[in-house]
Structure 1
Amino acid sequence: MGEYSKALSSYERSLEISKIALPPNHPSLATSYNNIGMVYDNMGEYSKALSSYERSLEIS
C-alpha cells in the first residue's frame, strides 16, 4: 500500500490545523479534502474518497 497511510495522516493533520486557522469556506480546505479523497481513491476506499470529494465541492 506504499506510503498512503503516511500521506493520509499528514493530510488529515494539515486539515485539522487549517480548520482552526481558516474560515470554513476557505479554498485551502477544499484542496485538503480533495487531497484526502485522492489518497482514499488510491487505497481503494471509494466511499471515503467520495465523501471527501463531496466535502471539497461543498466548499468550492
Structure 2
Amino acid sequence: MTNQQKIIEAEAALHQLLTGAKVVQIQRNGQTVQFQQTNKSELQMYINQLRHSRCALGGLV
C-alpha cells in the first residue's frame, strides 16, 4: 500500500468516526488496528505522520 493510499484509508476512517461510527479499522504495519471515539486523536496523529513522511519525500500535502 502506498503512502497516499494509507492517508486515504486513514482519513476515511477518521471521517467515519466523526460522523458517528463507533469503531473503525485500518491496516497499519501489516496489522489491523481499531480506533474508536476515545482514541480518534491517535488516528489523527497517524494521519499527520503519514503526511509528514510524504512531505519529507518531496510529495504534496
Whether TM-score is above 0.5 comes out as: no
TM-score (norm 2): 0.43
Higher strand proportion (structure 1 or 2):
2
The alignment's TM-score, normalised by the length of structure 1, stands at: 0.43
Query: Per residue, is there more helix in 1 or in 2?
Result: 1
